[in-house]
Amino acid sequence: MNPVATQSSQDTIATFEKHVIPNYGRFPISLVRGEGSNVWDAEGQRYLDLFPGWGCNILGHCPPAVVQAIQEQAAHLIHIPNSWYTEPQGKFAEALTTRGFGQAFFCNSGAEAVEAAIKLARLHTPENRHRIITFENGFHGRTMAATTATAQPKYHQGLGPLMAGFRYARFNDVDSVRELIDDEACAIMIEPVQGEGGVNIPSDDFLAELRQMADDNDLLLIFDEVQTCMGRTGTWFGYQQWNVQPDIITLAKGLAGGVACGGILAKEEIAPSLRPGMHASTFGGNPLAMAAGLATVETIENENLLDNVTEMSARFQSHFEALQEELPIIRELRVRGMMIGVDLTIPAGPAVGKCMQRGVLVNATHDTVVRLLPALNVTARQVDEGCEVIADVLREMAAEV
C-alpha cells in the first residue's frame, strides 16, 4: 500500500460506485500522489504520465513553486468576489498580457472562457450580427454554447435543440469559410491546433488567411487557446507560432499549473464591450488560482521551459519518425511542441490500456490517434522511456492486424 493512501484502489472504486454519478469512463486505479511527470496509485505502482491532467498539469504534478504559492496565498486570502481588487489578479493579468496582448478576464474553465468570448463577440458587433463560424473536428467545451460551437455530431446527440447562431467550416479550407460569411456573421473561432480533434495542425498560411478574411468582412477572429496556451507549443501562446494576431484568445487547462482557472485576453479596443453586468464569474480570478498562475509563469521562465519544449518536441518527433518507418499502421505523425498525435490505420483505444499496463499513461482521441500532452518540463530520459513503451505496444498491435 502506498503510504499516502488510506484505502486500496478497489475500496475507492466501491465508494464511487455507490455515491458518484457514473458519467465518466474511469480506469480501475486510484491515483494518490504525483511528482513531475510521475504519478503513483494506492498500491504504490508508478506511472510515467505523458498526458498529465489532460494537459492541465503543464508543469507536471505538484510543481514546488505552485504548491508553495498556493500554501502562502491560502494563509492570507482564499476567496473574495470581484467586487474588490486583489494584488494576485492584477499581477497575473499583467504577466499574461505583457507576454500576449490586450486585457484579461478570468473565469474557472475553458468552457467558461469560450462562453465569455462568444458573448464579447456578440456584444462588440452590431445586434444583427450574431453568427460565429467554427470548424469541423474542433472542440470548445461542454456548456451549451461551447457544445454547439463544437462541430462534432457525437457531442450533440440527445441535447437538442442546440443554440442558434453557429455554422461549421472545414479545417484548412478557406473556401469553406468564405461560403459561410454573410451579413449575420460576427466572428470566426478556431483552435490554432485542434487538440481533441486529433492534433490537427493548420497549413502555413491558413490562420493568416482567416485574419485577412475577418478584416475584410468586419469579423472578430477568436483563437481558442485553452490547450495551446502557456508554452504548450513552444511559445507563450499558439498564435505566436504563426505570427497571426487574433482579437480574442481563450485560456484554461495549463493556465494555473493544474489549479482550476480559465480566462480570455482581448484587444484593448474590444475588451470594454464586456461591460459591467453583462458577464461575470463568482470564483473567476480568485486569489488561489491567480497565485498559482503567477507561479506557473515564473517557473516556465526561470527554468527555460520554452526551450525545453522545443528540444523535447524534436526528441519525440525523432522517436516516432523512426517508428513510422518501421510500422505501416502509423498513417501520420503530427507534432507541435508538447502536442503529439500519432495517427494509426487501426483503432487507437487499445493502446491506452496496453501502455497503462506497462506503466505509461497516454490518451487516444478521434478513434485512431494516440495523443500525448507531456508536461513542459519532461526530461529526455522520460521521453525515451515513454517512447520505448509506446513503440512496444504499437508493434504488438501491428502484429495483431
* 135 is known to lie in a ligand binding site: no
What is the band of 352 on the pLDDT scale with cuts at 50, 70, 90? very high
Nearest to 117 by CA among 248, 252, 289, 305: 248
Neighbours of 184 (CB within 10 A): 12
What is the rounded average pLDDT of the residues 130-156?
96
* Domain residue spans of the chain: 68-303
Query: Which strand (E) or helix (H) includes residue 38?
Result: strand 38-41
* Helices of type H across 151-304: 174-178, 206-216, 239-242, 287-302
Position 202 scores a pLDDT of: 97
Position 67 scores a pLDDT of: 98
* 33 is known to lie in a ligand binding site: no
> Over 90: is that where the pLDDT of 167 sits?
yes
> Over 90: is that where the pLDDT of 384 sits?
yes
* 166 is known to lie in a ligand binding site: no
* 111 is known to lie in a ligand binding site: yes
- Please state the separation of Cα 171 from the chain's center in Å: 18
Nearest to 187 by CA among 253, 231, 140, 137: 140
- Please state the separation of Cα 200 from the chain's center in Å: 13
Position 1 scores a pLDDT of: 87
Position 276 scores a pLDDT of: 93
Please check whether residue 96 is in contact with residue 265, taking contact to mean a CB–CB distance below 8 angstroms: yes
* 101 is known to lie in a ligand binding site: no
Position 279 scores a pLDDT of: 93
* 139 is known to lie in a ligand binding site: yes
Tens digits of per-residue pLDDT, 275-327? 998 999 999 999 999 999 999 999 999 999 999 999 999 999 999 999 999 99
What is the rounded average pLDDT of the residues 250-269?
98
Position 218 scores a pLDDT of: 97
Distance CA 214, CA 200 (A): 22
Q: What is the pTM of this model?
A: 0.97
* 216 is known to lie in a ligand binding site: no
Mean pLDDT of the chain: 97
* 16 is known to lie in a ligand binding site: no
* 389 is known to lie in a ligand binding site: no
Q: What percent of the chain has pLDDT above 90?
A: 99
Main-chain dihedrals φ then ψ at residue 322, nearest 5 degrees: -65, -40
Nearest to 242 by CA among 336, 117, 340, 127: 336
**Secondary structure (3-state) at 185:** strand
> Over 90: is that where the pLDDT of 139 sits?
yes
Q: Which CA distances in Å does 228 have to 1, 16, 144, 238, 341?
A: 37, 32, 22, 5, 14
- Domain covering 68-303 in this structure, CATH number: 3.40.640.10
CB neighbour burial string for 200-237, b if at least 16 within 10 angstroms, e if fewer: bbbeeebbebbbebbeeeebbbbbbbbbbbbbbbbbbb
The residue written with cell numbers 482579437 in the block is 247
Tens digits of per-residue pLDDT, 35-79? 999 999 999 999 999 999 999 999 999 999 999 999 999 999 999
What is the rounded average pLDDT of the residues 369-396?
98
* 281 is known to lie in a ligand binding site: yes
How would you write 273-303 as a 3-class SS string? HCCCCCCCCCCCCCHHHHHHHHHHHHHHHHC
The residue written with cell numbers 453586468 in the block is 277
Nearest to 180 by CA among 147, 140, 131, 129: 131
Distance CA 263, CA 102 (A): 12
